[in-house]
């Protein structure tokens, strides 16, 4: 990996996203886990966790289930 320099700040010229290790939840405090607060501006579990095997799923199973229930309960008749 090459490093670039702008003034005092160094940055990676090539960035790679590394998922968190399984068994650790990095999402606590970032993702809203209370479905009652989902009407406001927040990061919902389903906006981050898009599949059961997501590395972010660990420890967020209840929040994902609650978010799914919230989305179904709040759908309009046309499914939107």
Give a yes or no: residue 1 inside a domain. no
pLDDT(6) > 50: no
Number of domains in the chain: 1
Q: How far apart are CA 15 and CA 12, in angstroms?
A: 6
Give a yes or no: residue 47 inside a domain. yes
pLDDT(12) > 80: no
Give a yes or no: residue 12 inside a domain. no
- Full residue range of the structural domain in which residue 46 is found: 21-73
Instruction: Evaluate the CA torsion angle 48, 49, 55, 56 in order and state its sign.
Output: positive
Give 47's Cβ-side CA count (13 Å radius). Answer: 10
Give a yes or no: residue 14 inside a domain. no
Residue 3: its H or E element: strand 3-6
Give a yes or no: residue 66 inside a domain. yes
Give a yes or no: residue 11 inside a domain. no
pLDDT(7) > 70: no
Q: What is the pLDDT of residues 22-78, one digit of tens each?
A: 544 567 778 888 888 878 888 999 998 999 998 888 888 999 999 999 889 888 888
pLDDT(4) > 90: no
């Amino acid at each position: 990996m090459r490093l670039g320099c702008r003034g005092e700040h160094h940055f990676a010229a090539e960035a790679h996203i590394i998922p968190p290790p399984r068994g650790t939840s990095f999402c606590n405090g970032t993702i809203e886990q209370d479905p009652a607060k989902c009407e406001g501006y927040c990061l919902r579990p389903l906006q981050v966790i898009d599949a059961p095997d997501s590395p972010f799923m660990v420890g967020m199973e209840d929040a994902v289930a609650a978010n799914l229930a919230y989305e179904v309960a709040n759908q309009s008749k046309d499914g939107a």
